[in-house]
Each structure stands twice: as structure tokens, then as C-alpha cells.
Structure 1
Amino acid sequence: MTGFLRLVLAVLAFTTPAMARSQDSAREQAGDERISNEADFNRKARTETGGRFLGAPRVMFAIDRSKAPPRIHWIDTKRYLYHFSYLQARYLTLADADAFIDANYSKPDRRFVLGAVVRYPLIARYGVEMWEGDKVEPELLAAMMATLQAGFHAPLTFKPNSTQQLEAARAAGLPVIGIDEAYGAREQLVLNRGRAVGRLVLVADGAEDDLLPGDIALLKAMPIRLPPVAGILSSTFTTPINHVSLLAKTWGIPNAYRAEADRLWAGLAGKQVVLDTRGASVTLRPATAAEVRAAEQSRAVRRIRAPRADLTYSGLPALAEQDSGWASRTGAKAANLGEVARLAMKRSELDFVVPPGFSIPFAFYERFVVANGLAPAIEAITRDGRRNDPAWRRDALAALRARFAAGTIPPGDLDAIVARRRALLGDKALFVRSSTNAEDLPGFNGAGLYDTVPNVVEEAALAAAVKTVWGSLWNERAFAARERAGIDHLAVRAAVLMQAGIDADAAGVMTTIDPFDEQADERRIFIAAKRGIGIRVVEGRKIAEQLIYRPELDSIQVLTRSQDDVMLHFAPGGGVEEVRIDPNRAVLSDDLVRRLGTIGGAIQRAFGSRPQDIEWLVVGDRIMIVQSRDYVRG
């Protein structure tokens, strides 16, 4: 880093919040809050080379209603594909994508109003468009148009993209531009060119999450979000502004609108078809057997392989006995944590610990499955063609988990587990955690798929907790995620990590890379923190305290303070309970932030300098690390 760049970063890092807000405001007022002429518009505009916006330049906008008066952000649409990406890059939102979408579409109290200004070549006019699924009140629509007009150089007219938006515009007394007027009458429109072979699924409202990677989704209305699919066909006229259309470009899949597609091709639903959007028209036809085989082989090439589980090892190793090479015996989570425990012992000056614990290896899971006759039931589900039927799959997996819960751990294994717990952990409360061979894989993170049972106290509850974790291998969300990734379910096994439960004063997540700017040259540590145990942080309930620490400059930037008025503590008899707290206090001191940053850097170096996603907790001034996995880049 040059001396000049270091100086610039230092000035930025040590700028007071008031100065930063003033400087940001000046920059935004000068560049983002007004489009003063056509040249300003052209500098920010993206012009599509195909689809409905062919030759129609557009500039996205976000109106921040938390300001008085509301502030316009005219987004450089050549650089940013999404409103969310721009707002996140400016630290104007720190929510994840799902939370941001839920809070800022179809909500009267939304912070941001999102849309785009489009220049229509056919009529030489500017129009304002919103995503067609965004329900907007007349008052909000009128206020939006007034705010935009005050910051734009030419007359603006609203162009509704749904019946609800048209009715709201009429109620607000706003003139509108019709779809035929703006774009000309269209029976079909290619939004992204391509060809795909897959099962045609007529998607009911709210059923998008049940789609599989090999499906071609036939949509009556474009949803806010969609899992990866092979192709998209919509019977509702849509726009590249919506998230799904942009994702289709990212995935490189065909995406098209065809009037009455749901009626024209309803007879092909559930069958293997070919969707082709490479020509001037949209075609859909039944696939040949050879085409289906070729598509399956192509998808099989991209399948993710679960590492082989060692079913011969039957020890109950303490965390301190393990390192990252133990993943085949005890799973990546436990093995990585063992590596971190070794680092803590070797580098005492880092001043952190890993709560003690031990692993129940894959071999114990295998013996339980065999002893309770579960293997045939598992294989039957994985081989049954109905596993792609969400309702059937949901019921079948629930029945399988019930058999896990009702099963009996072989007496010798249970006695060994209880004895190891007594010898290593005494009567301490436990966190009983999953550690499978189907998580923390290249291309498949697996975070949040499997269950953790907190604060297990009584020995009678221990066996039930272990069976719950084993059974969570067959949660619907885990099964669906593996199905989408092409992971062989029959190769997957569950180990268990038994770890001393810590009733933390504060807990959270730390990444050794800035998730809002992954390409940043300088080192940054991102920290999210809440008071109490860490479940509420990783579940994303309410806003956490969020900070950026720059080690080279020793600067701490507070992005948000925690807004959570509840903390979780251990309940006396086991489990957890909620305790009301004052949400306006800082969670972490500057000293704790700096210490966490130093520990995070050391853990990253221990894992080959790969950026890490680390879970931590604090009791008093003691820092404890409870998980580390490779950070997954966006």
C-alpha cells in the first residue's frame, strides 16, 4: 500500500461520524440526488441489448424515506445490477438480501422506494417503472413521483406494470404511459437467450422454493426470489428490472415472456421439455430421450461429491486431539474447530479459548441406523421418483425423523458417550451440534441445514439430543439443498460435536473479509454482535451491532448498534429463555473488537490464509471461538 493511499485511508477511517455524514451528503447531493441533463442520465444508464428494454436506456433509483425530506439515490446502473448491491456498497443497508426484500417491497412503512426511470425511444419520453409485484399505495406513489420529478431534468410519467399499480395511479390522479405505448404490443419477448432441457413445472403462488435445478419454471407471475433452475417462462409481461430476470442472466439460462403460456403449454406440465429462446420466437416442445440423457449428463458433471466418511473409527476424541485432517472421521465442523483449539494452545498470547468438547464420529451414526433398521427406509426415499413431489417428500422425511427419535442407541455406544461426557465435561450443560460430511464443501456451504440442541443438562436428555441431531440429516431443507447440489444422499453421514455450553454475555459472527466489499485491497474484519448466546445473531432476528475493524489503521467503524431488546440465556432446567434488555447500549468495547480482529487474522493464517467465517462468544472479557469455516464469496 502506498504512503498516499495509507494517508487517505487513515483520514477516512478516523473521520468523525458527523463529518462523514456531512461529506457523504455533499457527495450525494452533487452526484446522486439529481440528474440535471441528458448527459447525466446517459452516464448512469444501462441499455439492454435484448428483451423488452432493447434500446431503452434506464437508470435505477432508490428513495430513502428515512431522511427529511426523502433523499434520491440515482444509481450507476452500468455498474450495479441490483438496488440492493448499490445500497449495501454504500452501507445504507446491512440486512441480508431476503430481509431487505421483505422490508422494502409492498410495505407502506418501507424505508426505500425502488424502481427505474426509462427513456422510451418509440415516444421520446421518460417513464417511471417499479417491479410488477410491488404493491404501492396511492399516497406513496404520488410522493414518489413528486420526489423524482424534483430531481430530474425532464417530465416524468408513471408506467404501471400491474393492475394494482394502475389502480393506485388512477386513485392518485397521476397520468400514465401504457405498455403498448411504451414498448409496442408484444405477444412474446425474450429476456435472456438460451436453450434448456428440463421438467416443466407450473408454479403455484408461494411454491417457488420447491423448484429443483433441473426444472423449467412456468410462472403466472414473477416472484421476488427463485432458486436456481434450468429455465424460466412467464405468462405475465415482465421486466429485466426484477431480481429473477437479473438472476437468469447471472445463471446463463433462457428466460422469456409468452402471453398465455400457462394455458398454451399446461398439457406439458410435469414432462421433460425443451425451452428455446435463441431465435426470434419462444418455443417449447417435448424433449426426446436423447436430449434428456444429454441434459442429465451435463448436470451430473457439476454434481458436488460428499467426502467419504470413515466408518471404521470408533473413538470419542476430544477437540484438542483433532485437527483439520480429521474431517473424514468427525466432520468438517469438529475437525476445523479442533484446528482452532490447537492454535489457542500454541499461541497463548492470542488470549482466547475453545470450549472443551468431544466428537461422536460417523461410525456411531452408522451403527444406530443399522441397529434400528433405518437403512432401507433411507434408501427408499432417495430412490423414490416421488421425492421431487414436495408434499410427498415432506411427509416421508417427517416419518423418517420420527423413526430416528423413537430409535434406540446401541447400549454400548450410549454408555461410552455418557462416560466420556462425565470424564471430560462433568455435569456441565452441553451444546449438541451437527458435524456432517455434507457441509463446508467447495460449492456447498451447508450452513444452517442441520440442528443444534442447546443447554442439554440431564443425562436422560442426552440420548434424545443426539438422535435429534442425527435425524436432522433428513430435514426437508437439508434434503432439498443436497438434491439441488447433486449430492448423493446415501453418501452422507452425521457426526455429533458435544461441547460445553457457555451462557454467553455476548456472541456473534466475524468474517476476515468485508462482506460488503470483498475486493477491498486493505484488510478488514466484519463483526456482528448481540448480547446473550449467539442463536439470535445467526438466525438474523433484528439488527445486530455491526462493525468494520481495519487492523492496519487500528480504526473501528460502527455501522449499526443492536436493535434487539431481547437476549437469550440458559434456562435453569435446560433449553433457553428470553430476557428483556435495553437495546441502546454498545455490545462490544473497542478492546474486545481489536482482540477479536487479531484472533480472526491468526485463524485465517492457520487455514492457509483463506478468509474465514467465525462464530465467537464473550463471557466477561474472555473470548471463546466455537466455529470456523471458509468464507463463501458472493
Structure 2
Amino acid sequence: MPDDYRKPRRACVQKPFSCNNSTMIIIPFTSPEATLENAGGKGANLARLTRAGFDVPRGFIVSTAAYRAFVAENGLQALISSVLNGLDLHSPPDQLEAASAQIRAGFPAGLMNQETESALRAEYAALRPVIEEGAPSDPVNSSAPGETSRSTVFGLSSSVGLSVAVRSSATAEDLPDLSFAGQQDTYLNIIGEAQVLKAVVDCWSSLWTARAIGYRMRNNLGGQAAKTGVKSLETFDSLALAVIVQELVPSEVSGVLFTANPLTGLLSESVVNATFGLGEALVSGQVEPDHFVVDSLSGAINEVTLGA
């Protein structure tokens, strides 16, 4: 995909930073306007955590309005609908893979409108690390005297850009009865404006991975999901993807916390799965993590199983 995603056309989104939920392109983590509809499940929850005062790594959300604009302006809706019409609940995995590849090929061939590109570039630039000695640190990532700030760890000049994670956040994920965990893609260690733009488009296309299409079918997401993998052709716009662009923390250890035991359903037990390094290997199933079962009230560790 070329570095310049701009396409000369009258933009469908006139106010990139509008607080109107239907047209907002960029949603800050601090915004009370972040919802499942415009920020996806992961994005809406990160915004809630930020507003509650938790130490959330800096970032922003590229709203579902940007995804819908990209799909509409590049004629991808007709392609997606046509390909999905050839599938049903009993389609074999290789047919799902072929359908996914056909749909996803349309995304890197598309062009991002100028409003979305400009908003993305500006917000990413605002995340650039400050490494000059004595320079003021970011208020979110401020360090105590003598400590090294998060941004300094990367050793990047402000002209290069911050290393970020570009994360998918679908409108049909983190739901009470459907997690959609691992169905869309995440890209780590993305550096530079051109690479961030490319990763955002790649995230958009991951709404149509074979596993995501099959997952929607198997879980009967909407009345015609068994046929198409979406709610229905008439309500195509109800399925969309927001994208999170977030400062990457070079973690020594990463983990996932379950506030109820997922194997037994006990609310009195929490479960922690942890591994060394970044969390992507853990959540994608590439490693067998250390497993801890913890009493939620006392904090006592009831069970420890070391990973491979």
C-alpha cells in the first residue's frame, strides 16, 4: 500500500474531531463519547478505565465512522456482500479462507480520505516520545525524579515516532455472551506515520478474517448470520471496526486476569495467565503460560501451574 492514502474527492466526514458520535474520526481515551457503537468493545472499555483514573498507556481510538467511510468510498460493501453470499454455516474452512482473502485484498487496494489520514497523522505525532534531557514528560507517563520515562525506554528521536500497538476493536466483541477474543488482528511495534496508516487499514480488513466470519456464523450473530456472517445485508452498517493506536509498553512480563474462574465459573476465584515478554504470544496461543488461581477476597494463591 502506498504511503499516501489520500484520494481527491469531496470528503464524507467534514469535522474529524467532532463530538457527534456518527462523524467523529478520532476519539480520545478521555472522551465520555466513547461507546460500543463508535469505539468498539475494547476501545469503549479503555476509555472507561482512563476516565476512572487507571494508568492506561497513552493512545486514541480511530472510530467506526472512519471504517465505514473507507468501505463506502472504496466500494467494498458490494464486494463483501457478494463474497459472503457464497457462504453458509456448513462452509468448510478452506472456503472461509478463500472468501476472507478475497475480501481482505480489497482493503490495501483502497485509499483513505484526506480527513481521516490527516487526523491520524496529527494524533500519532502527538504521541511522539520526548527524549531530550530535561524536557517535560507527558502527564500520563510522568516519572519520578531519577526514573526513566516509558517513552525514553524506546530510545527514539521525536522525528521517528513512538512505537505503538495498533489494535482492533469491533462493535461485536467484549459482549456479555460473546468475547470475540483473537478473532481480529493486532499489530505490535509499529513505528512511523506510514506504517501506522497501513496497520490501521490492515486492522479494518481483519474484521473479515476467516475465523471472524466463521465465529459470527457459529454464534448466530443476527438473524441471517448462518448465511452471511453478518446480521443481514440490509443492516450491514451495524458491523464495523474501530482501531486503537496505543503506546507500546515494552513489558518484561504480560498476563491476562479473569475475575471469575473461567473453568469452574466460581466468582470467588480469580485466574491469572502470565508469560515473559509481550502479551501477543499469550493471547494468540503461541505459548503455554504460567497459571495462577487466586482467592479473590484474601489474595491467597490457591494453585500454581508453570507453563512450558
Mark the CA change 1:386 to 1:328 in structure 2 (over 3 Å): closer, same or farther. Answer: closer
CA contact (8 A) 1:453 1:465 kept: yes
Secondary structure of 2:30's aligned partner:
helix
| Match status 1:538 vs 2:283 | yes
Distance in 1, Cα, partners of 2:87 & 2:121: 41
1:487-498 → structure 2 map (5 Å cutoff): 487-488=221-222, 489=230, 490=236, 491-498=238-245
Distance in 2, Cα, partners of 1:546 & 1:387: 35
Counterpart for residue 363 of structure 1: 65
1:269-308 → structure 2 map (5 Å cutoff): none
Q: Choose from 180, 186, 195 the match for 1:452.
A: 186
| Match status 1:408 vs 2:153 | no
| Match status 1:333 vs 2:58 | no
Tell me by how many angstroms 1:333 deviates.
0.9
Mark the CA change 1:524 to 1:386 in structure 2 (over 3 Å): closer, same or farther. Answer: closer
Distance in 1, Cα, partners of 2:128 & 2:30: 13
Deviations 1:503-544, CA, capped at 9 Å, x for gaps: 101101111122343246xx3221111111111222333432
Tell me by how many angstroms 1:471 deviates.
0.3
Deviations 1:252-294, CA, capped at 9 Å, x for gaps: xxxxxxxxxxxxxxxxxxxxxxxxxxxxxxxxxxxxxxxxxxx
Distance in 2, Cα, partners of 1:317 & 1:497: 9
Report the structure, 1 or 2, having the larger strand content. 1
Amino acid at match of 2:63: P
| Match status 1:506 vs 2:234 | no
Tell me by how many angstroms 1:392 deviates.
4.0
Tell me by how many angstroms 1:385 deviates.
5.6
Q: Choose from 176, 179, 204 the match for 1:442.
A: 176
Counterpart for residue 615 of structure 1: none
- RMSD of the TM alignment (CA)? 2.3
- In the alignment, structure 2 segments of 5+ residues that lack a partner are 1-19, 130-160, 223-229, 231-235
Q: Choose from 525, 545, 549 the match for 2:294.
A: 549
Question: Scaled by the length of structure 1, what TM-score is found?
Answer: 0.36
Secondary structure of 1:527's aligned partner:
strand
Distance in 2, Cα, partners of 1:317 & 1:383: 34
| Match status 1:321 vs 2:68 | no
CA contact (8 A) 1:437 1:492 kept: yes
Mark the CA change 1:321 to 1:383 in structure 2 (over 3 Å): closer, same or farther. Answer: same
Tell me by how many angstroms 1:384 deviates.
3.4
CA contact (8 A) 1:319 1:358 kept: yes
Report the structure, 1 or 2, having the larger helix content. 1
Tell me by how many angstroms 1:326 deviates.
1.5
Distance in 2, Cα, partners of 1:388 & 1:314: 38
Mark the CA change 1:542 to 1:360 in structure 2 (over 3 Å): closer, same or farther. Answer: closer
Secondary structure of 2:174's aligned partner:
coil
1:585-604 → structure 2 map (5 Å cutoff): none
Amino acid at match of 1:366: R
Counterpart for residue 471 of structure 1: 205
Q: Choose from 250, 262, 276 the match for 1:515.
A: 262
Deviations 1:306-345, CA, capped at 9 Å, x for gaps: xxxx97232412112247x6111111111111111222x2
Tell me by how many angstroms 1:387 deviates.
8.0
Amino acid at match of 2:190: V
CA contact (8 A) 2:64 2:241 kept: yes
Distance in 1, Cα, partners of 2:113 & 2:249: 29
CA contact (8 A) 1:311 1:366 kept: no
CA contact (8 A) 1:546 1:560 kept: yes
CA contact (8 A) 2:25 2:65 kept: no
Question: Scaled by the length of structure 2, what TM-score is found?
Answer: 0.72
CA contact (8 A) 1:436 1:493 kept: yes
Secondary structure of 1:312's aligned partner:
coil
CA contact (8 A) 2:254 2:275 kept: yes
Q: Which has the higher contact order (CA 8 A, sep 6+)?
A: 2
Secondary structure of 2:257's aligned partner:
strand
Amino acid at match of 2:282: V
Counterpart for residue 273 of structure 2: 528
| Match status 1:381 vs 2:83 | yes
Secondary structure of 2:57's aligned partner:
coil
Distance in 1, Cα, partners of 2:203 & 2:243: 7
Mark the CA change 1:526 to 1:396 in structure 2 (over 3 Å): closer, same or farther. Answer: closer
**Would you say how many aligned residue pairs link Structure 1 and Structure 2?**
244
Amino acid at match of 2:205: G
Q: Choose from 158, 161, 166 the match for 1:432.
A: 166
CA contact (8 A) 2:162 2:192 kept: no
Distance in 1, Cα, partners of 2:32 & 2:58: 12
Distance in 1, Cα, partners of 2:270 & 2:99: 43
Tell me by how many angstroms 1:402 deviates.
1.0
Distance in 1, Cα, partners of 2:296 & 2:85: 52
Tell me by how many angstroms 1:439 deviates.
1.1
Deviations 1:375-420, CA, capped at 9 Å, x for gaps: 1111212333678543444323202101112211112211111111
Amino acid at match of 1:561: L
CA contact (8 A) 2:124 2:193 kept: no
CA contact (8 A) 1:432 1:454 kept: yes
Tell me by how many angstroms 1:479 deviates.
0.6
Mark the CA change 1:322 to 1:356 in structure 2 (over 3 Å): closer, same or farther. Answer: farther
Mark the CA change 1:317 to 1:551 in structure 2 (over 3 Å): closer, same or farther. Answer: same
The percentage of counterpart residues that share the same residue type is 29
CA contact (8 A) 1:414 1:463 kept: yes
Distance in 1, Cα, partners of 2:276 & 2:211: 28
CA contact (8 A) 1:547 1:557 kept: yes
CA contact (8 A) 1:440 1:446 kept: yes
Distance in 2, Cα, partners of 1:397 & 1:387: 15
- In the alignment, structure 1 segments of 5+ residues that lack a partner are 1-309, 346-351, 564-634
Secondary structure of 2:104's aligned partner:
helix
Mark the CA change 1:389 to 1:540 in structure 2 (over 3 Å): closer, same or farther. Answer: closer
Secondary structure of 2:301's aligned partner:
strand
